[in-house]
């Protein structure tokens, strides 16, 4: 059993930050659409937060970071921070303490920080490498939605495991999915490099930066990389969580289109096509 001290610390900081107004949870309502299962659809209520509005110049929220949202440092290079606009309680960001671009290559140091957190607190990790992949901030950050032991990490976790076992059809877009096991960060770094090379995203040792936008999703059991072609489809803004089975509807979303075509078609609209 994990100690889950990072998760418990995040919940404690969340209570204080919420009471001071530093934390602004998204207000949503769940929509039940039978043809969309197992996806979880939520409709945003009220005005969208800043990161969901039209893009434009804005200050880096992580330099300096908002101190009431700080959970704690991870060595000299990384920090755990609450997401100011969380999608659940304890929604964590793993950020670099100095400026590094979200669109650059993730480093061995980044993966070692992920492994340090993962040894204590499990859950669903995700990364949006650029605005085309759904990133709202240019400063490097990975995100973690903590999960209790034995709890599914996301709505599509069962489908991903079924694909790994050969019990489910493959998706019709460019992605790589592999099993993962416990490690010190090197296992994640190796999977990341392998996926990037096989999807044509490039190689960190050769290319200055990734050649195409992409998302990462992973938990204790699997590691998934998706090559992206665009950020929006049918009025939906789709980041890595879309490929985990979570969709957020705003005033721009075409719900009729989604009901006609289904969530998998939406993901196909925003992912790069699978190689012939």
Tokens of 110: 């980044």
pLDDT for 138: 96
255 exposure class (CB count in 10 Å sphere: 0-12, 13-18, 19+): middle
pLDDT at 239: 98
**Residues 5, 8: Cα–Cα separation, whole Å:** 5
What is the helix (H) or strand (E) element at residue 7, kind and residue range? helix 5-20
Task: State the Cα–Cα distance between residues 133 and 124, nearest whole angstrom.
Answer: 17
Architecture per CATH, domain 5-48+70-270, reads as 2-Layer Sandwich (3.30)
Instruction: Find tokens 């659940």 and name the residue.
Output: 88
pLDDT at residue number 275: 82
Give me the residue label for tokens 């990341």. Answer: 192
What's the average pLDDT block by block, 10 residues per block, for the chain (276 residues)?
95 96 93 91 78 62 96 97 95 98 97 96 98 96 96 97 95 96 81 96 94 97 97 97 97 94 97 88
What integer pLDDT is reported at residue 36 of this predicted model? 93
Of 261, 250, 264, nearest to 31 by C-alpha is 250
Q: How far is CA 15 from CA 90, 106, 123, 240, in A?
A: 10, 31, 20, 27
Residue 141, phi then psi, degrees to nearest 5: -160, 135
pLDDT of 7 reads 97
Structure tokens given for 200: 């044509």
């Amino acid at each position: 059993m994990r100690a889950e001290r990072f998760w418990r610390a995040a919940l404690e900081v969340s209570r204080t930050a919420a009471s001071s107004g530093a934390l602004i949870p998204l207000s949503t309502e769940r929509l039940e659409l039978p043809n969309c299962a197992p996806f979880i659809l939520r409709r945003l209520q009220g005005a969208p937060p800043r990161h969901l509005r039209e893009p434009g110049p804005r200050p880096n929220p992580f330099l300096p970071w908002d101190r009431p949202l700080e959970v704690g440092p991870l060595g000299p290079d990384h920090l755990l921070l609450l997401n100011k606009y969380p999608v659940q309680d304890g929604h964590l960001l793993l950020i670099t303490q100095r400026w590094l671009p979200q669109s650059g290559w993730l480093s061995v140091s980044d993966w070692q920080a992920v492994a340090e957190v993962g040894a204590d607190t499990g859950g669903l990790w995700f990364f949006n490498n650029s605005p085309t992949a759904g990133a709202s901030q240019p400063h490097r950050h990975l995100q973690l939605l903590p999960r209790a032991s034995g709890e599914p990490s996301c709505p599509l976790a069962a489908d991903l495991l079924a694909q790994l076992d050969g019990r489910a059809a493959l998706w019709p877009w460019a992605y790589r999915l592999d099993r993962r096991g416990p490690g010190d960060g090197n296992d994640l770094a190796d999977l990341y490099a392998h996926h990037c090379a096989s999807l044509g995203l490039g190689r960190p040792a050769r290319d200055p930066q990734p050649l195409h936008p992409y998302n990462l999703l992973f938990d204790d059991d699997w590691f998934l990389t998706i090559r992206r072609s665009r950020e929006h489809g049918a009025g939906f803004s789709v980041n890595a969580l879309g490929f985990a089975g979570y969709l957020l509807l705003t005033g721009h979303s075409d719900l009729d289109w989604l009901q006609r075509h289904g969530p998998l078609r939406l993901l196909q609209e925003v992912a790069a096509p699978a190689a012939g």
